[in-house]
Amino acid sequence: MSTINLKHGIWVLVADGEKALFLRNAGDSKYPNLEVVQEIEQNNPPTREQGSDSPGRYNDGPSVHRSAVEETDWHRIGKERFADDIADRLYKLAHSGQFKEIVLVAPPMVLGTMRKKLHKEVADKVTAEIPKTLTNHALFEIEALLQAA
């Protein structure tokens, strides 16, 4: 990947499994000025706080032995659903002409899940992908990290 051109009007999506910031560059590539267009948060507590039952068990056949079934990771499922929601929202925004180009910034797992769900209309507008977690950074830090990338 070459350097990221943060030209005027380009959108930047900074997301993780629980929070997404839709940003637009009101500045230019030399002096970016990212402004928040929309912020979405999802309450996704750890699995231990979401599940109440013990893992299921199944019979291994004619013997009396029973095996445990792996517990459902509700937290991971929540992150995947959130990535799906972001992909849907990006499609609606792209389809209505809200952005012409976008940079995606997310942890590798979220980025991979989102990439699989992106509509071709959105995927064609992606100019760069950065596999990092930046959702808890201030806007000026995100601008500096994007310029350095």
Per-residue pLDDT tens for 53-66?
A: 555 556 666 766 66
* CATH, domain range 11-41+71-148: 3.30.420.60
Q: What is the pLDDT of residue 41?
A: 86
How many beta carbons lie within 10 A of that of residue 19, not counting itself? Answer: 16
Domain ranges (residues) in the chain = 11-41+71-148
Least confident of 8-17, 18-27, 42-51, 60-69: 42-51
Per-residue pLDDT tens for 81-110?
A: 888 889 899 999 999 999 999 999 999 988
> 41-55 burial, b for 16+ CB within 10 Å, e for fewer?
eeebeeeeeeeeeee
Torsion angle defined by CA atoms of residues 89, 120, 133 and 98, in that order, rounded to the nearest 10 degrees: -50
- pTM (two decimals): 0.77
Per-residue pLDDT tens for 124-139?
A: 999 999 999 998 899 9
pLDDT over threshold 80, residue 38:
yes
pLDDT over threshold 60, residue 34:
yes
Q: Between 108-117 and 74-95, two packed helices, what is the crossing angle to 10 degrees? A: 50
